[in-house]
Amino acid sequence: MLLPAVRLVRLGRVPYSEFLALQDRWLRRLQAEPGTEDPPRTEAGALLLCEPAGPVYTAGLRGGLTPEEAARLRALGAEVRATGRGGLATFHGPGQLLCHPVLDLRRLRLRLRTHVAALEACAVRLCGLQGLRGARARPPPYTGVWLGERKICAIGVRCGRHITSHGLALNCCTDLTWFEHIVPCGLVGTGVTSLSQELQRHLTVDEVTPPFLEAFKETYKCTLISEDTSN
Amino acid sequence: MLRTRPNLLSVHKFVEKHEWVIAESGIGAVGTSNFAQGAFRDVVYCSLSEIGKKLNKQDELGALKSVKTASELYFPLSGEVTDQVFPVNTGLVHKSCYEDAWPTLGNTSEVDELRMKKRIRNRQHLLKSESGTS
């Protein structure tokens, strides 16, 4: 049986704004063509991956950071951006695997909630592959993947006209002190963690990416087609 | 077109008091007021209509449940669900996409919302009189 194909676009270490611009291009491409053949019918979209080159705090759609908080965070040397995803404030930066699947949910026959559950399952699976047992997804308002009371992976998505954007941010060797300046995802009193912190050894985004891709293919039951980054 | 339900009057009050619409170039966003979301303080479940669903005035857009109360979310205008976000922040249900005009940090959207609330209150008096005559 032919599995749906998803374009794999690995950007490596790029500024977050560049990653969002690429996401926008894919969104326009997928939203503009219901029924025409670009991308071809067997393709369900693109899996965009990067490691943010610099520190950036993001707010969700109408949620997460006041102008005063934004000013304070910029003074720390971080970028501050609003996004169209769900969820509240979070941090992205070096050491973090940022994964935005831009998928046509109709072609995968998924609902938004199932897509979210699949993202969670990818992160949980990835933790398992790295030897971390006990990773679990939690329902709102604790959306994300947790080890105990520490969040290792944040999730926030958007779906417009059946096309998803944004996705998950998995801490590999993120400098977790950046999270101290916000209430992550609006959850007072909870902690954040990373694969490196939990496993007590240094894991890079490059090291984590291949098992993550395996987890993605298994979870979404798709194949990944490499795409050069000129798109 | 209004559906008949036993609790229509109380629902309609909910619509009149607690839901607002921001309209910008014909694209609208629907939300619940601070009062309503305060009443649903411990929201444990939120469901939204699927994308593509066409809604008439007063159609059920989704549901909010807290540990103490449950209520449907009713849509004060006609339209189609085009966008969803997850997780949903309490107090906001989105009807449509802003394209490039996403609210940015530090903009005056709070002021715009207040302006729209006044406009909508007037409009909802119209809705109320419509329901009175239908």
Give the pLDDT of residue A70. 93
Q: Is the model more confident about B95 or about A169?
A: A169
Show residues of chain B in contact with A164, CB under 8 Å.
none
Report the residue of chain A nearest B88, measured CA to CA.
A86
Active site amino acids of A: 185
Q: Could you check whether the bond before residue A39 is cis, i.e. omega within 30 degrees of 0?
A: yes
User: If residue B32 lies in a helix (H) or strand (E), which one and from where to where?
Assistant: strand B27-32
Local mean pLDDT, 10-residue blocks, chain A (231 residues): 89 97 94 65 91 96 83 96 89 98 93 92 97 92 92 93 94 96 76 96 97 97 78 43
A interface toward B at CB cutoff 8 Å?
Answer: 59-63, 65-67, 70, 80-88, 111-113, 116, 140-141, 143, 155-162
ipTM value > 0.85: no
Task: Supply the pLDDT for residue A211.
Answer: 98
Q: Please name the residue that has the structure tokens 């240094």.
A: A202
Say what the pLDDT of residue B5 is: 28
Q: Give the torsion through C-alpha atoms of A200, A123, A2, A230, to 10 deg.
A: -80
Interface contact B34, partner A, CB < 8 A: no
Hey, is the C-beta of B94 within 8 angstroms of any chain A C-beta?
yes
pLDDT, tens only, B32-67: 443 344 333 333 333 444 555 454 544 554 544 433
- The C-alpha of A78 sits at a distance from chain B's nearest C-alpha, in angstroms, of 15
For residues B114-127, average pLDDT = 41
Size of interface A-B (CB pairs under 8 A): 83
Percent of chain B with pLDDT over 70: 4
Residue A45: which region, alpha, beta or left (left: phi > 0; alpha: psi -120 to 50)? left
Q: Which residues, at least 6 apart from A94, have a Cβ–Cβ distance to it below 8 Å? A: A13, A51, A52, A53, A54, A55, A174, A175
- Rounded to an integer, the average pLDDT of B94-115 is 31
Q: pLDDT at position B1, please?
A: 21
